[in-house]
């Protein structure tokens, strides 16, 4: 019986075998810049929002607070995961990469709470909307918009690689839309004096954020529950492994995501008689790496008479 632990022969190596970075850690510098920008302009919006009594501006500042906390949690998770990987050993055989996914889930919960509160508070104001001065709101919203545009472009690329960065990116994107909405409500209030502009925009911002928050939470839970990546058809992967030369059957296949950019697989490959296990192992590793982009695979190559043991295990 042969055992193989492979990385598909890729020149880039595996994130779990060596010093490669997770999808989040590649964008650490940009996250730090986005964190600093968000913290500075959040303070501006809070001060002006409280001074003017603008719910739209306060809600946008609160939303920006979730940006700052979200990016902060993302940074903490990346640093923690990196240190755990560098000092990996003992019981932490996979390091602490799941900390990044937990941070993304925490961001989604936090964002959902803020969005729900904004909608609730805005609806309560429809009965007697307060008078809000338009000019300070316009100026503060413009500053917040500039900050969010800069952060948006800083995190846009990283959102493709990492669910953790994607969480921070979605919060910045939502806050960018919120800043536009606050700017519009401020202009309407300034020009027309329509007091309903502020609570209406508060509801609109909250309703825009909620479905995006749900999508982020669902992605994080999919990883935490160790579902196969959404892009993969597990039955197809198993069928392709079974079609490899010398393979009689592929079974006990598991594919999951450790964290963004780190997809892992394990499988048992039952071989036909008089087959070189090393050739089967190499072919399977190459298939998973080249066709399915799974660089980290643990494969057990076993003769036909050894497969019965696997069938007796129900899970």
| Distance separating alpha carbons of residues 66 and 47, to the nearest angstrom | 16
Sign of CA dihedral 185, 186, 190, 193: positive
pLDDT digits (tens, 9 = 90+) for 93-135: 666 777 778 877 887 887 788 778 777 877 777 777 767 777 7
> What is the number of alpha carbons within 13 Å of residue 147 lying toward its C-beta?
31
Which residue has 């992967």 as its token pair? 237
Nearest to 179 by CA among 299, 34, 45: 45
For domain 25-224, give the CATH number: 1.20.1510.10
Residues in the chain: 315
pLDDT digits (tens, 9 = 90+) for 149-203: 888 888 887 777 776 677 777 777 777 877 788 788 878 878 887 877 877 877 7
Q: Which CATH class is domain 228-311?
A: alpha beta
Query: Both tokens of residue 92?
Result: 């932490």
- Residue 208 C-alpha from the chain's centroid: 19
> Is the pLDDT confidence value at 19 over 50?
no
Domain extents in the chain: 25-224, 228-311
Query: Both tokens of residue 7?
Result: 């990385």
| Distance separating alpha carbons of residues 291 and 4, to the nearest angstrom | 19
Q: How confident is the model over 218-237, as a mean pLDDT?
A: 91
pLDDT digits (tens, 9 = 90+) for 220-229: 899 899 999 9
Residue 35: partners with Cβ closer than 8 Å, 6 or more residues away: 68, 71, 72, 75
25-224 and 228-311 agree in CATH topology: no
Say if CB 136 and CB 51 are below 8 A apart. Answer: yes
Q: C-alpha distances in angstroms, 234 versus 4, 107, 247? A: 20, 30, 17
DSSP labels, 210-237:
HHHHHHHHHHHHHHHTTPPPTT--HHHH
Does pTM top 0.95 for this prediction? Answer: no
Sign of CA dihedral 105, 106, 107, 110: positive
pLDDT more than 70, % of the chain: 79
């Amino acid at each position: 019986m042969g055992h193989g632990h492979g990385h598909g022969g890729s020149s880039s190596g595996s994130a779990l075998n060596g010093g490669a970075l997770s999808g989040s850690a590649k964008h650490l510098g940009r996250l730090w810049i986005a964190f600093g920008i968000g913290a500075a302009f959040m303070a501006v919006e809070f001060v002006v929002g409280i001074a003017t009594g603008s719910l739209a501006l306060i809600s946008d500042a609160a939303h920006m607070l979730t940006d700052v906390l979200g990016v902060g949690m993302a940074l903490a998770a990346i640093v923690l995961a990196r240190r755990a990987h560098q000092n990996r050993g003992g019981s932490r055989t996979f390091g602490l990469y799941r900390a990044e996914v937990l941070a993304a889930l925490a961001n989604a919960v936090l964002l959902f709470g803020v969005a729900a509160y904004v909608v609730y508070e805005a609806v309560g104001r429809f009965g007697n909307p307060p008078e809000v001065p338009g000019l300070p709101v316009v100026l503060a919203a413009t500053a917040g918009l500039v900050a969010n545009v800069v952060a948006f472009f800083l995190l846009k690329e990283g959102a493709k690689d990492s669910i953790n960065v994607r969480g921070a990116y979605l919060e910045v994107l939502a806050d960018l839309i919120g800043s536009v909405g606050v700017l519009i409500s401020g202009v309407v209030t300034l020009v027309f004096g329509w007091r309903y502009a502020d609570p209406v925009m508060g509801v609109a911002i909250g309703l825009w954020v909620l479905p995006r928050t749900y999508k982020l939470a669902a992605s994080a839970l999919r990883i935490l529950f160790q579902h196969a990546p959404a892009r993969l058809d597990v039955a197809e992967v198993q069928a392709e492994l079974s079609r490899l030369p010398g393979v009689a059957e592929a079974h006990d296949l598991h594919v999951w995501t450790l964290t963004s950019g780190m997809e892992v697989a394990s499988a048992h490959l039952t071989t036909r008689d008089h087959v070189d296990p090393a050739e089967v192992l190499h072919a399977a590793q190459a298939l998973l790496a080249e066709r399915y982009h799974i660089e980290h695979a643990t494969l057990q190559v076993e003769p036909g008479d050894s497969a019965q043991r696997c069938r007796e295990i129900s899970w």
